[in-house]
Every structure is written in structure tokens, then in C-alpha cells.
Chains A and B, each alone.
Chain A
Amino acid sequence: MNKTYLSYNNIVSSLGFDSPTVVQKIHEGLSGVTLIEDETLFPNPFYASVIDSDYLGKAFEKLQPAGGYTRLEQMMILSLDKIIKASGVALTDRVGLILSTTKGNIDTLDPRNPMPAERAYLGTLGHIIKNHFGFSTEPIVLSNACVSGILAISTAKRFISQGTFDQVFIVGGDIVSNFILSGFNSFQAMSTLPCKPYCKQRSGINIGEVAASVLVNKDQDNLPPEAVEILGEASCNDANHISGPSRTGEGLYRSILSAFKEANVGPGDIDYICAHGTATIFNDEMEAIALNRLGLDAVPLNSLKGYFGHTLGASGLLETIVSMHSLYHNTLYPSKGFTELGVSQPLNIITAPIAKDLNCFLKTASGFGGCNTAAIFKKVRS
């Protein structure tokens, strides 16, 4: 089977508009989550990670865009533009485009939004990105709740191994919208404070927005120094409930086990786990149970939600990119917001930056619909 690599990457977020800047901010312990007072988004003040609109507009203007673009389109184009240029990859019929998003341009359904509501069709979003850059192939939009970001990486790998493409550009993005905030609030899932994954005092999620992008490549040449190989991945459903995580962590347990099998590694090979850690009571507990069932409780682990909030369809991709840089810098970053373990099973939560030789990491996510995904990545040593 072909090998596949995560190559050039970029992050457009409230912490900065490129991966090295964002990772440096994390290293310094800074979070993009702030208190937002904006009644067009939510009736009460709320904590979220929101990109400064002026800053976004100015950065986007530099690309000299023709025509009008929505907020998410601007974020996605800014994100992808850098890696398409840096990689020098020609957009032939051997190059795929995958978008990973839960809600796309959902803000255009709001009657106050100046853009037409037709823009909310995810296929339309895909074509706007395709046409902007001149991709030759039909865009693939993956909308699989909060596992979309990792599943997009799996999907790219699967299409490459099947011979459909040689290279795939993935862009994952979602925005902070009144649609999402009102929905998660009706689920009583929103924290009134910055989120605290795995912590005793955790009380729910913060929402965040980001556009993350990566090039998935089957060749080992022309890789940036932070590149990683995708060793194995899998996605399994809980078959339990459409919104509540499984009490036994069944789907996540099976996903990790299956990813181990494909990667031909075991718990002892994992140097670091970048987990989902939304900071809801039930999600974090479920993860602790699944990880303990697999004997992964001693492996250093963090959730990056404390830096970015939950960035929905982009989160898995965003967090994988940060982890690639974590490996490259041989540094484990702390799980922001964590003070005291608040799950029933032991976990080795990272509480301060640690310098350590890192080779292999596990990324996981779980989401509505009972979906779970796990992927294992290894440093490329030249």
C-alpha cells in the first residue's frame, strides 16, 4: 500500500494566520478564547475564539479577490492560498480537494446576512473554493459532525491509496454563528467560562472558528520539516445514541484499536495523545474510559480546546496540525484550562510545556451521531 504524508499546512485562527505563529502562541500559553459581547451572535456575553473581522478583511484584500466572499470563504481561501503556493503543486486532475465542515456558510440563512441563502449549500461552498484556485477535480465536502476534520485526513488517504488522486488539499473550516451558539446552548452544553477539558470544574464547551488546511501527499519528496506519515486511521460508530456519548466509550475504543491494527503499533508506541476533550461532563468521561480500556492512561495527553474552543468540522484537522508541530519541536504543550482531574479514570494530562523526544502521536475525535475517529501519525525522519 502507498504511504501517505501530511505535508504543507496552515492555520487561520484568532491566534494568528499561519501555523508557526499559532504554535508559538500556544507555546507561550496564550488562548484565543475571549469574552465576546455581540447580540447578533448571542443574547448574552459568551466565551469563544473569534477571528478579528478587520484583520481578516485586510489579510484577504491582499489576495486581490474578484467578487464577494463570505466570512468562511475568506478564511478558507486565506488558509489554502498559502499552502498551494508553498507546495508548488499544479492543480491537475490528479489533485483532489476535500472540504471538511459541519455547517459551512450557515450564517447566510440569517435574513440579516447580505449574502444569498443559496450560499448555505455545502456543494456551492466547495465550488467557490474550487473555482477560486482553479482545481480540476470535483470538490468533496465531508460533513460528519465533529469528527469531520480527522475523517477528512482518512478520506484523503483512502482516495490516494485507491488511486483516485496523487495529492489532496484539505481545508477544514467552521464559523462562530448564532445558529451554532443557540443550538449548543439549547443542549445546555455551553460553558459560561473559558472551557476546562478533563478538569473537575469543567462545565461545557466554548465555540471557536478556524480554517485549517493541509496537503496530503503520497510522495516523500518536497515535504516540510514538520511533515508526518499517516500510519493508520479508523472511524467507528457507538451504535448507542445520536447525541450522548457511549458510557463505555465503545466507538472510540474500537476506532483506536482498528487504527492501531492498520498502523501496526500498540499503546507503547504512542508518545502523545491529542484527544478531543470538549470539556462537557459526558464527553471527557467517555474518552477517559475508552483510553483506559486500551491501556493508554499513562500516555501524555492534552485537549487543545482551551486555546481555540471547539472549532467543529475543523477541529480534528486543526489539532492534528498543531500536534505535527508539537512533534517537530519535540515539545508537549499543556492542556489549557486543566487544574484537577475530573474524570473517573486516570489520565496523564500535560500541565506544563515538556521537552521530550517525540516520534508518534494519536489523534482522536468524537461527535454527534455517535461517530468517533482515531488516526496515528509518525514523524518523517530524513
Chain B
Amino acid sequence: MSDLKQELKEKIITQLNLEDIAIEEIADNDPLFGDGLGLDSIDALELIVMLDKDYGIKLTDPKEGKKIFESIEVMANYIAEHRTK
């Protein structure tokens, strides 16, 4: 599980172009949106594509994403449970 969390942090930084943020700066329970990493609605859509492409999880309702992308911790748990690849 900690490998998956590490992997997610790396992916978020590269795919969402968080140039000024280092992996160590993202704590497992930090909020990803709002005041946390400051991600926005396009980032949320991008994370939905990432779930599909890298883990074979298809979300059709963006509202679902809101809960899943709360933090690295929540995301990793969700992926571990639902991944098809």
C-alpha cells in the first residue's frame, strides 16, 4: 500500500505538472483540492483519466471523484479495492 501511495504522489506531480512540489511535501492525509495542493476542476478530470488509463477504473460521475480524490490515503484505498489492472 505504501508503494501505491508513493506511486500516486509521483504520478500526481508529473501528470498535473506540479513543478514546485516535492513528493515529501505531500502527506498521505493532506487534502488534494482547495487549500491543500490547490488542484482544480481540470485536475479532477485528469485524475479520472488516470484512474481509467493506469488502473482500469471507470468513473462516469465527476461527483464520485470528489470523494475519491480527497487525499492520497483515500485514493490509494479506493484504487486497491477497485483496480482491474
Contacts and interface: CB of A to CB of B under 8 A. Distances in A.
- A and B directly contacting (CB within 8 A): yes
Interface of A: 186-188, 241-244
B42 A243 contact: yes
B41 A244 contact: yes
B42 A188 contact: no
Contacts of B41: 241, 243-244
B62 A188 contact: yes
Contacts, number: 14
* B interface SS class: helix
Interface of B: 40-42, 45, 48-49, 60, 62
* A interface SS class: loop
B45 A188 contact: yes
Nearest to B41: A244
A243 B62 CA distance: 15
14 contacts: A186-B45, A186-B49, A187-B45, A188-B45, A188-B48, A188-B60, A188-B62, A241-B40, A241-B41, A242-B42, A243-B41, A243-B42, A244-B40, A244-B41
Contacts of A242: 42
B66 to A, nearest CB: 13
Contacts of A244: 40-41
A102 B47 CA distance: 26
Contacts of A186: 45, 49
Contacts of A241: 40-41
Contacts of B62: 188
Given A186-B49, A188-B48, A241-B40, 11 more contacts: A186-B45, A187-B45, A188-B45, A188-B60, A188-B62, A241-B41, A242-B42, A243-B41, A243-B42, A244-B40, A244-B41
Contacts of B40: 241, 244
Nearest to A243: B42
